[in-house]
């Protein structure tokens, strides 16, 4: 199996390439700069690896670069306004496409703009194969199997420790600061809407301590309604993090940031909490806990890609739960320290 990694010399690109190698999959390193690709191959101690240069805007070069690969993993963020030519080239060449985007507007546009093309080409496109979006989407599907008729789902993300975001993540925050300031899309009554207010102000992540939350453009608000019959889905993060991310980061500030090292990443915990309220008022709570968000993203992107190349999913642009069997996939992630559970929760009075 051969897989092209676009943006292979970036922080997430290198982690993803290393994870492909760890899984015995041959990686082809693709990017816009030969020297930076060569340096990345050196860092990864890949002496006989194939490097292919292609600008993200050069369709013919992209088609050449992807030739002979069963799939493309795109790690070149920010994705907004830049990654669509890469999605389009992968589909046109007949290859599955996976990416590590955390940008809600971009992911929504991939579903909106490429579903028909992907189906016609017989390939699967799975945007946002990340630590947050994939487990969150899969657990939501499992909750729906248990809950019967669901009225609403709130999805909350929290990260503890781990050295903070990478330079690339910060650039994605800058690129999407408008969406972040507005809180992103809420799915409500059959459509995705901007500007819907939150109907609660806190959530408990672990234990009973309620933490202040703010609306945030999480990917699950885009993916869950594609396979769960639900009236409302909204994403939130801790207010303290939302406040930190709303500071306008200059390129100088981003350049001064260090990408998180393996040592600090292993001490990081990420948490995803999903609370689903059924139409009869019962609340089911799903929790995902993991370590090392960037390492887990590499594992998830590779796991999704391997399964697509093996033909496990139908064609089209798909959410993780539409592509794979949720329990089997979630249990596979235990090998990467990801744990999940679903429990019944007594309904609390929501704050106004």
Please report how close the Cβ of residue 352 comes to ligand NAP at its closest, in angstroms: 30
Interhelix angle 133-147/293-309, nearest 10 degrees: 70
Please report how close the Cβ of residue 291 comes to ligand NAP at its closest, in angstroms: 14
Please report how close the Cβ of residue 263 comes to ligand NAP at its closest, in angstroms: 17
The span of 70-78, 147-155, 178-186, 328-336 binding ligand NAP (CB under 6 A) equals 70-78
Task: Give the position of tokens 């909106």.
Answer: 112
What are the residues whose beta carbons fall under 8 Å from the beta carbon of 208, sequence distance 6 or more?
Answer: none
Please report how close the Cβ of residue 16 comes to ligand NAP at its closest, in angstroms: 9
Q: How many CB atoms lie within 10 A of CB 242?
A: 18
What are the residues whose beta carbons fall under 8 Å from the beta carbon of 97, sequence distance 6 or more?
Answer: 71, 72, 74, 86, 87, 90, 91, 118, 123, 124, 125, 126, 127
Residue 11 binding ligand NAP, by CB under 6 A: yes
Residue 36 binding ligand NAP, by CB under 6 A: yes
Please report how close the Cβ of residue 21 comes to ligand NAP at its closest, in angstroms: 17
The span of 32-40, 104-112, 235-243, 321-329 binding ligand NAP (CB under 6 A) equals 32-40
Residue 12 binding ligand NAP, by CB under 6 A: yes
Q: Name which of 171 and 231 has its Cβ closer to ligand NAP.
A: 171
What are the residues whose beta carbons fall under 8 Å from the beta carbon of 250, sequence distance 6 or more?
Answer: none
Tokens of 37: 């690709």
For the chain, give percent helix, strand, coil, nearest 5: 40, 25, 35
Q: What is the DSSP letter of 19?
A: H
Q: Name which of 81 and 341 has its Cβ closer to ligand NAP.
A: 81
Residue 223 binding ligand NAP, by CB under 6 A: no
Residue 231 binding ligand NAP, by CB under 6 A: no
Whether residue 78 has a cis bond before it, omega within 30° of 0: yes
Residue 18 binding ligand NAP, by CB under 6 A: no
Figure out which of the listed residues 20, 65, 69, 78 binds ligand NAP, where binding follows CB under 6 A. Answer: 78
Residue 305 binding ligand NAP, by CB under 6 A: no
What whole-number distance in Å separates Cα of residue 208 and Cα of residue 226? 31
The residues facing 341 across adjacent strands are 287
Q: Where are the alpha helices (DSSP H) in the chain?
A: 11-22, 34-43, 59-66, 84-93, 104-121, 133-147, 167-175, 177-182, 220-223, 239-245, 251-255, 262-266, 293-309, 320-323, 326-332
The span of 31-39, 42-50, 114-122, 336-344 binding ligand NAP (CB under 6 A) equals 31-39
Please report how close the Cβ of residue 249 comes to ligand NAP at its closest, in angstroms: 13
The mark string for 97-116 relative to ligand NAP (x by CB under 6 A, - otherwise) is ---x-x--------------
Question: Residues 123 to 152: which contact ligand NAP by CB under 6 A?
Answer: 130-132
Residue 286 binding ligand NAP, by CB under 6 A: no
Please report how close the Cβ of residue 265 comes to ligand NAP at its closest, in angstroms: 11
What whole-number distance in Å separates Cα of residue 321 and Cα of residue 312? 12
Number of residues engaging ligand NAP in binding (CB under 6 A): 29
CA torsion 55-59-65-66 (nearest 10°) is 130
The span of 3-11, 62-70, 193-201, 308-316 binding ligand NAP (CB under 6 A) equals 3-11
CB 351 within 8 A of CB 201: yes
Q: Name which of 6 and 187 has its Cβ closer to ligand NAP.
A: 6
Figure out which of the listed residues 75, 121, 180, 304 binds ligand NAP, where binding follows CB under 6 A. Answer: 75
Q: Given the rule CB under 6 A, which residues bind ligand NAP?
A: 7, 9-13, 31-33, 36, 56, 75-79, 82, 100, 102, 130-132, 166-169, 172, 294, 297
């Amino acid at each position: 199996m051969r897989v092209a990694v676009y943006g292979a010399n970036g922080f997430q690109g290198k982690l993803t390439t290393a994870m492909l190698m760890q899984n015995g999959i041959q990686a082809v390193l693709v990017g816009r700069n030969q020297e930076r690709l060569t340096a990345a191959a050196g860092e990864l101690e890949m002496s006989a690896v194939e490097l292919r240069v292609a600008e993200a805007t050069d369709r013919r070069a992209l088609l050449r670069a992807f030739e002979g690969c069963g799939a493309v993993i795109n790690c070149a963020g920010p994705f907004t306004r830049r990654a669509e030519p890469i999605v389009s080239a992968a589909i046109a060449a007949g290859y599955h496409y996976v990416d590590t985007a955390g940008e809600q507007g971009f992911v929504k546009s991939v579903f909106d703009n490429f579903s028909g093309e992907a189906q016609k080409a017989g390939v699967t496109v799975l945007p946002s194969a990340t630590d947050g979006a994939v487990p969150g989407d899969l657990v939501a599907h499992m909750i729906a199997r248990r809950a019967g008729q669901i009225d609403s789902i709130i999805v909350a993300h929290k990260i503890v420790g781990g050295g903070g975001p990478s330079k690339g993540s910060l650039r994605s925050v800058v690129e999407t600061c408008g969406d972040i300031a507005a809180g992103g899309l809420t799915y409500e009554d059959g459509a995705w809407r901007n500007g819907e207010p939150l109907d609660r102000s806190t959530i408990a992540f672990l234990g009973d301590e309620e933490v202040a939350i703010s609306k945030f453009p999480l990917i699950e608000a885009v993916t869950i309604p594609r396979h769960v019959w639900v009236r409302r889905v909204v994403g939130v993060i801790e207010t303290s993090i939302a406040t930190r991310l709303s500071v306008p980061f200059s390129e100088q500030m981003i350049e001064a940031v260090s990408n998180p090292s393996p040592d600090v990443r292993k001490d990081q915990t990420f948490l995803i909490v999903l609370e689903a309220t059924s139409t009869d008022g019962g609340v089911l709570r799903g929790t995902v806990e993991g370590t090392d968000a960037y390492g887990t993203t590499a594992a998830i992107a590779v796991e999704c890609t391997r399964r697509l190349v093996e033909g496990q999913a139908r064609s089209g642009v798909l959410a993780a739960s539409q592509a794979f069997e949720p329990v089997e996939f979630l249990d596979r992630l235990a090998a990467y320290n990801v744990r999940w559970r679903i429990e019944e929760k007594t309904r609390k009075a929501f704050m106004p």
